[in-house]
Amino acid sequence: MHPDRTTHAPTPATTRSPRPVQDGGLLRLVTAGSVDDGKSTLVGRLLYDTKSVLADQLDAVRQASIDRGMATPDLSLLVDGLRSEREQGITIDVAYRYFSTPRRSFVLADTPGHVQYTRNTVTGASTAQLGLLLVDARKGVVAQTRRHLAVLALLGVRHLTLAVNKIDLVGYDEAVFTAVAEEFTARAQALGYPAARLHALPVSALTGDNVAGLSHRTPWYQGPSLLAHLETVPVESGLHRAPFRFPVQGVIRPRTAQHRDYRGYCGRIGSGSVSTGDEVTVCPGGHGTRIARIDTPEGPVRTARAGQSVTLLLDDELGVERGDLIASDPLPWPVTTFDATVCWLAEAPLFAGSRLLIKHGTRTTQAVVTDLPSLFDEQNLTVVPGPECLSLNDIGHIAVRTATPLPVDNYAAIPATGSFILIDPRDGQTMAAGLVGTPYAGDRPNGQQGTAP
Amino acid sequence: MVRSALDALESEAIHIFREVDGEFDRPAILFSGGKDSTVLVHLAAKAFAPAPVPFPLLHVDTGHNFPEVLEFRDALARRMNLRVVVARVQDWIEDGRLTERADGLRNPLQTVPLLETITAWRFDALFGGGRRDEERARAKERIFSLRNAFGQWEPSRQRPELWNLYNGRHQPGEHVRVFPLSNWAELDVWRYIEREGIELPSLYYAHRREVFLRDGMWLAPGPWGGPRDGETSRLATVRYRTVGDASCTGAVESRAADVTAVIDEVAASRLTERGATRADDQLSEAAMEDRKREGYF
């Protein structure tokens, strides 16, 4: 039996507490849904129910709704950003939304459901800890849902939540929800997700059922409301248990009387943790040394971990510079050729032989795409060998050769050193999101045997 | 151990400052004297400590300044040993490159002095305090936002931003606006100010001031005009939620005299900071989008 329902209501969403404790940290999530399944309304509802929509914004939406002849405020208007979108009534790019409850702050990457969904979903998913998928209860899991699932799994988004929306339109029917939830769970598990990182719930974005608080119209649903779930899902990534990786952003040398000999290497810890006295290696040089001191914005510390911006001081004077990687065992192998999966984000297609720039960690170098062995057909979730090129929104395998060695890790193991972007050297455009390794294989991308990061 | 949201936001902002230092030749921090740009300077100091902040401040001065803000700017620059580059709108008006508008507003005139100063100083990256929660057109802004040679923001040319691999490539004449506070909400900024004990211009806290009502906003009288006929001023206890051009930045009635009281007030607030206090955003629903396209922030 589920505990008392009231305990699952999110901490007061109706009265914004003036001094939230917010011990729950920051959760980054990405939404994904098809056209017309009510995603904008759901996001608008989350903002509205967490009091993130303030009076003047709501007034503007009320006025716009009246102008359009609507009886009630259209919450989706809260998240329609650019004028070109308002004119066309569509969403064309990733938009970031912010809301908070007394428990936790949220950054929501809101991605559109139709055009360029791969590009936008990949962008939003690259920084997300949780993927919020939306389906229409009347339609269930559709091809678009499967594609979104595949992309979120590929990017290693740690938690997946399925909101079965418009539950009011199927008469709050438990059987409809259960069928959709079971199909979602089975597909996500096939992609490597353990059940503990999956959750499905029935909602109505329009009426607010199970969004901020539990609905009495779905007494058969025994889980938390969407907001309560988002407030309590663990934000720990497990990345702090991975090997230590530290892309060096720069060298801090004050050269002042007070800090004459200070020489620190600044950066943000990509994975793992580091303590003073630890043995580390500078890649690609391969020189070993020890951590002499760790400076943080709050002063020196003994230990720091993934996600923290710090400055490391080393025991030995080494020629460390921006672009280098400070790492500990097991060390990444600096390579000039490797296989990767890319999501192609540019209008111009990618052909074998293309010369591009690659940014990996803090190093940018030249690269040649030497081969395009296969394309992932996410319409059918199959692998197509030997494509002529990769076009906008395509996901495919590439073989890369780089001008200087890069200390890469497999993306599925360490995203910080397993990810890269490809840049057009002529106009500087970002052409592709790259993941080191070839994780997808039909229905089993990243995180097989439950190793999704 | 879960790191607090503020710690995560701070680490992200510091990472952004260091990326810009590594990838650009001549960055500068756009500084208005407001709370967001003051927090930027504080974060920049943390990013490079114990070395000094390696960027100058760039202040576009509309000439309609609150005196406390200029004093604050100069004191901050002295304390942190920062160079301040000032682009005075008045200079552009006096030599005929700009003409005063009929309505007297100078915020719309900032764009030309800003862009010409960027060109003259060859700045290639400009940090701004913009946050994505401020306004709908900003929700799609990138952290690294490419501007063309006219300073314009072109939505269709914005690059996808993946992981924390920021792409700072730009052509000669182009520059990049960088927004380290993109993922901060107004309340995060205030909580950080409280946590770090960051000093702000005094007008952010409740004080007695002569104000008059125009277009639903409490404006301060000054050489920029007002009160006009029919507008009467009165003494009120007010504070400012944003600091900008004094002719179009309104005060709100408030008794919040310190940062803790301000946080309580912001948390309970029913109006967004821009909607409450900025006349230039009220010109039209798409005002911000238009100004971004023109090369404003």
Task: Spell out which residues of chain A touch residue B275, defining contact as CB-CB under 8 Å.
Answer: 54-57
Pick B5-188+286-294's CATH classification: 3.40.50.620, 3.30.420.10, 3.40.50.1000, 3.20.20.20: 3.40.50.620
* Rounded percentage of chain A residues whose pLDDT exceeds 90: 60
Most confident of A78-82, A291-295, A329-333, B88-92: A291-295
Task: Spell out which residues of chain A touch residue B18, defining contact as CB-CB under 8 Å.
Answer: 249-250, 266-267, 309
Chain B segment 129-188 residues within 8 A of A by beta carbon are 132-133, 136-137, 139-140, 146, 155, 157-165, 167, 169-171, 182-183, 185, 187-188
Q: What is the pLDDT of residue B62?
A: 87
Distance from CA of A226 to the nearest CA of B (A): 20
The answer, yes or no, to whether the previous bond of A453 is cis (omega within 30 of 0) is no
Cβ contact, residue pair B169, A79, below 8 Å: no
Predicted model pTM = 0.89
Q: What is the pLDDT of residue A80?
A: 62
Residue A285: pLDDT band (50, 70, 90) is confident
Pick among B134, B135, B162 to test the A interface (most A CBs inside 10 A): B162
Range from A322-336, A368-382, B30-44 carrying the lowest mean pLDDT: A368-382
Cβ contact, residue pair B160, A307, below 8 Å: no
* CA angle centred on A50, ends A45 and A53, rounded to 5°: 70
**pLDDT higher at B258 or A451:** B258
Whether pLDDT at B92 is above 60: yes
CB of A396 closer than 8 Å to CB of A440: no
Task: Spell out which residues of chain A touch residue B285, defining contact as CB-CB under 8 Å.
Answer: 60
B284 touches chain A (CB under 8 A): no
Domain ranges of chain B: 5-188+286-294, 203-282
Residue A140: pLDDT band (50, 70, 90) is very high
The predicted model gives A202-220 an average pLDDT of 94
Distances (CA, A) of A302 to A281, A319, A433: 19, 24, 35
B198 touches chain A (CB under 8 A): no
Cβ contact, residue pair A94, B140, below 8 Å: yes
Q: What is the pLDDT of residue B293?
A: 52
Range from A152-166, B127-141, B233-247, B261-275 carrying the lowest mean pLDDT: B261-275
The predicted model gives B235-264 an average pLDDT of 87
Instruction: Tell me which residue of B281, B282, B284, B288 sits closest to B137, measured CA to CA.
Output: B288
Whether pLDDT at A127 is above 70: yes
Across the A:B interface, residue pairs with CB atoms under 8 Å apart total 182
Helix axes B5-23, B186-196, angle to 10 degrees: 90
Cβ contact, residue pair B160, A359, below 8 Å: no
Whether pLDDT at A1 is above 70: no
- Sign of the Cα torsion A118, A124, A130, A136 reads negative
Cβ contact, residue pair B165, A259, below 8 Å: no
Q: What is the pLDDT of residue A54?
A: 65
Cβ contact, residue pair B182, A96, below 8 Å: yes
Pair of tokens at residue A355: 């010369």
Whether pLDDT at A445 is above 60: no
Average pLDDT, chain A: 86
Task: Spell out which residues of chain B touch residue A341, defining contact as CB-CB under 8 Å.
Answer: none
Q: What is the pLDDT of residue A36?
A: 73
Cβ contact, residue pair A268, B155, below 8 Å: no
Average pLDDT, chain B: 85
Cβ contact, residue pair A297, B270, below 8 Å: no
Pick among B24, B55, B136 to test the A interface (most A CBs inside 10 A): B136
pLDDT tens-digit series, residues B101-157: 887 778 788 888 999 999 999 999 999 998 988 776 677 788 999 998 887 877 767
Cα torsion through B200, B202, B205, B211, rounded to 10: -140
Task: Write the residue in A56, A105, A420 that is nearest to B5 by C-beta.
Answer: A105
* Structure ipTM: 0.89
Q: What is the pLDDT of residue B99?
A: 87
Pick among A30, A65, A80, A83 to test the B interface (most B CBs inside 10 A): A83
Residue A62: pLDDT band (50, 70, 90) is confident
Backbone angles phi, psi at B102, to 5 degrees: -60, -35
pLDDT tens-digit series, residues B277-297: 555 544 444 454 455 555 554
* CA angle centred on A35, ends A34 and A39, rounded to 5°: 75
Task: Write the residue in B4, B50, B164 that is nearest to A259 by C-beta.
Answer: B50
Cβ contact, residue pair A123, B8, below 8 Å: no
Distances (CA, A) of B150 to A39, A49, B294: 36, 41, 8
Q: What is the pLDDT of residue B286?
A: 47
Cβ contact, residue pair A235, B268, below 8 Å: no
Whether pLDDT at B247 is above 70: yes
Closest residue in A to B133 (Cα) is A98
The predicted model gives A277-287 an average pLDDT of 93
Q: What is the pLDDT of residue A304?
A: 96
Closest residue in A to B148 (Cα) is A427
**Exposed (0-12), middle (13-18) or buried (19+): which is A436, by Cβ within 10 Å?**
buried
Task: Write the residue in B48, B162, B276 that is nearest to A421 by C-beta.
Answer: B162
Distance from CA of B165 to the nearest CA of A (A): 7
**pLDDT higher at B24 or A256:** B24
Closest residue in A to B138 (Cα) is A81
Q: What is the pLDDT of residue A326?
A: 97
Whether pLDDT at B272 is above 90: no
Q: Which residues pair with residue A136 across a beta bridge?
A: A165
Pick among B169, B274, B293 to test the A interface (most A CBs inside 10 A): B169
Task: Write the residue in B11, B171, B188 that is nearest to A428 by C-beta.
Answer: B171
Q: What number of helices (H) and strands (E) belong to chain B? A: 9, 10
Separation between Cα atoms, residue B131 and residue B135, nearest integer Å = 8
Q: What is the pLDDT of residue A9?
A: 40
Task: Write the residue in B2, B12, B268 that is nearest to A236 by C-beta.
Answer: B2
Q: What is the pLDDT of residue B136?
A: 67
Rg (CA), chain B: 19
Whether pLDDT at A88 is above 90: no
Whether pLDDT at B64 is above 70: yes
Distances (CA, A) of A442 to A338, A394, A449, B87: 21, 14, 15, 58
pLDDT tens-digit series, residues B147-199: 988 878 777 678 899 999 999 999 888 999 999 999 998 889 999 999 999 99
Q: What is the pLDDT of residue A15?
A: 37
The predicted model gives B247-264 an average pLDDT of 89
Task: Spell out which residues of chain A touch residue B147, defining contact as CB-CB under 8 Å.
Answer: none
Pair of tokens at residue A387: 């494509």
Range from A210-224, A279-293, A412-426, B264-278 carrying the lowest mean pLDDT: B264-278
Separation between Cα atoms, residue A388 and residue A391, nearest integer Å = 10
Residue A34: pLDDT band (50, 70, 90) is confident
Most confident of A34-48, A60-74, A167-181, B64-78: A167-181
- Farthest CA pair distance, chain B: 61
Whether pLDDT at A38 is above 90: no
CB atoms within 10 A of CB B203: 22
